[in-house]
Amino acid sequence: MAHHRTMDEICFASAVELRDALAARELSAREVVQAHLDRIERVNPAVNAVVTLVPEKALAAAKAADELAASGAPLPPLHGLPVAHKDTHDTAGIRTTYGSPLFADHVPERDELIVARMRAAGVITLGKTNVPEWAAGSHTFNPVFGLTRNPYDLSRSAGGSSGGAAAALACGLHPLADGSDMGGSLRNPASFNNVVGFRPSPGRVPSPDARLGWATLSVQGPMARSVEDVALLLSAVAGPDPRSPISLAEPGAVFARPLARDLAGARVAWSPDLGGAVPVEPEVRAAVEASAKVFEELGCLVERDCPDFSGADEAFRTLRAWQFEVQFGPLLGSGALKETIRWNTEEGRRLTGPDLGRAEVLRTELFRRVHEFFTRYDFLVLPVSQVPPFDASLEYPAEVDGVPMETYLDWMRSAYFVSVTGCPALAVPAGFSPAGLPIGVQIVGPHLADFAVLQAGHAFEGATGFGRRRPVTD
């Protein structure tokens, strides 16, 4: 080995750097896994990001990975990279609670697809990352494991529902993470923790176990500390599966191509508030405006413009309530659902056929307006979250820029309006509030233009470097 790497050098290396060092056998999988286990032991108690840990399994898998490397056999693309999986994603033989007291001791028998694909690609499982109860809401706390804190300020929220995943990435607890996103759960915690989260087009990462196989509001996707690392993980988890009716035919390998692209001449629209549709805190507005200037400096043709998002709110809330009724209706009588989930499920019970029909029509009209918008622009730049990370003792922000928030969903509109469009959306670090709290920007592209969105994010990240600022965790 040319250079002995310290624990922190290993834990804050990019996934691509680690992959290359492992493939060249400059590092062993055992060293990489042990460094991350040591760092989890040191840093995790303060943030509570990783909630179930399986060190013996991880070290055994690392030993097997090192034996594979020694044999000279070809190595899988994510060989030896350690990950803790989102606690709503089933992991064979490893406790998966969904953040629910009803499942506090639940151990699934098999990996769900995103986890199976990661493990087939050589990922080593360290454990599970914390979620809100049933991944509902963008603030990570539950009765099983408690609250996940923001590593940039422990009094603040880490966002959600992939809050444990994002906080773990920020702290160097693992280099890649899997998450899911209905109303912003890959994007909002990325914004709050100064990391990258990507909501792919529906069907890009299929969910053959989903109860609603044709539904497109919820997707799974990758998170990491850089856009390149996000693309690396996407290359392993994307691709068709015949058990999902919406799965896209393109193989995951398309995301392993280099992301470098000259953005000169690309047409970029930006809006600090989705065309006046949502209230946004001043620090977030400032970050979005500064991001638009970065795209100008990259040679893009930048204009302040936005599609008409009318109908997005009703469509999202109706379709979400309908999905909640499908998922939680059977548990309504159990008394073991948090109030917000019970409310959302009861809303679903009250829906009529015409309500659902109207939501689908509104959504279709929105899709066509957004499609038309993207005949004039290549990318749309928006806030990820309407607020910087808020006080962790709140269930959700009571107001945004002086406007009261009635429900636990209201403050997430900047993320969930985009969910309704079906467009791919990347949350990438875009700066810090005066109080030192991370703020992300959302880069949205046309439906199915996932690779182009990653290219834009990669260029933006290279021009700004905000993601290199680490939290003080020791």
Q: Which residues are catalytic?
A: 86, 161, 185
Q: What is the dihedral of CA 221, 137, 210, 347, to 10 degrees?
A: -150
Tokens 């470098």 found at: 260
- Separation CA 186–CA 221 (nearest Å): 7
In 170-245 the beta strands, taken as DSSP E runs, fall at: 176-181, 196-199, 219-224
SS3 (DSSP) at 136: coil
Contact 88, 129 (CB under 8 A): no
- Separation CA 115–CA 87 (nearest Å): 11
Tokens (6 digits) for 5: 């790497």
In degrees and rounded to multiples of 5, residue 134 shows phi and psi of 55, 25
Give the amino acid at 439: I
| Close Cβ partners of 28 (under 8 Å, ≥ 6 residues apart) | 22, 62, 66, 69, 80
- Separation CA 441–CA 431 (nearest Å): 9
Tally of CB atoms within 10 A around 162:
39
| Close Cβ partners of 337 (under 8 Å, ≥ 6 residues apart) | 100, 133, 134, 328, 331, 345
